[in-house]
């Protein structure tokens, strides 16, 4: 069974020409694919990150790091402490 061109791994990487995300997808399913890709490529499991480290990592792919950070937390791809001082890769 082959992967659908619109949903496979190549489709996600196509959103990153030159290594940067051209736009945060509006469609929930497409955005979820991007968030999975970002969490798996930018953040290690079992490691805590400061907010600054998360922001710096996200800035390497898109200027709206705060929106990406928010989507990652809401989607469970990153968890954060109650005071927001520490983040950790989820899922």
Say whether pLDDT at 72 is over 90: yes
Integer Cα distance of 36 and 56 in angstroms? 18
pLDDT, tens digit, for every residue of 33-54?
A: 999 999 999 999 999 999 999 9
pTM, rounded to two decimals: 0.85
Give the angle subtended at the CA of 5 by the CAs of 35 and 61, to the nearest 5°. 30
Contact 51, 84 (CB under 8 A): yes
Model confidence at 74: pLDDT above 90 = yes
Q: Where are the alpha helices (DSSP H) in the chain?
A: 9-13, 28-42, 51-59, 65-74
65 pLDDT more than 80: yes
Q: How confident is the model at residue 84 (pLDDT cuts 50, 70, 90)?
A: confident
State the average pLDDT for the chain: 88
């Amino acid at each position: 069974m082959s992967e659908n061109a619109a949903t496979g791994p190549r489709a996600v990487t196509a959103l990153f020409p030159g290594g940067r995300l051209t736009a945060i997808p509006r469609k929930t399913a497409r955005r979820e694919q991007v968030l999975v890709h970002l969490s798996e490529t930018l953040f290690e499991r079992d490691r805590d990150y400061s907010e600054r480290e998360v922001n710096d990592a996200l800035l390497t792919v898109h200027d709206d790091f705060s929106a990406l950070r928010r989507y990652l937390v809401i989607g469970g791809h990153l968890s954060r402490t109650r005071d927001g001082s520490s983040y950790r890769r989820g899922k």
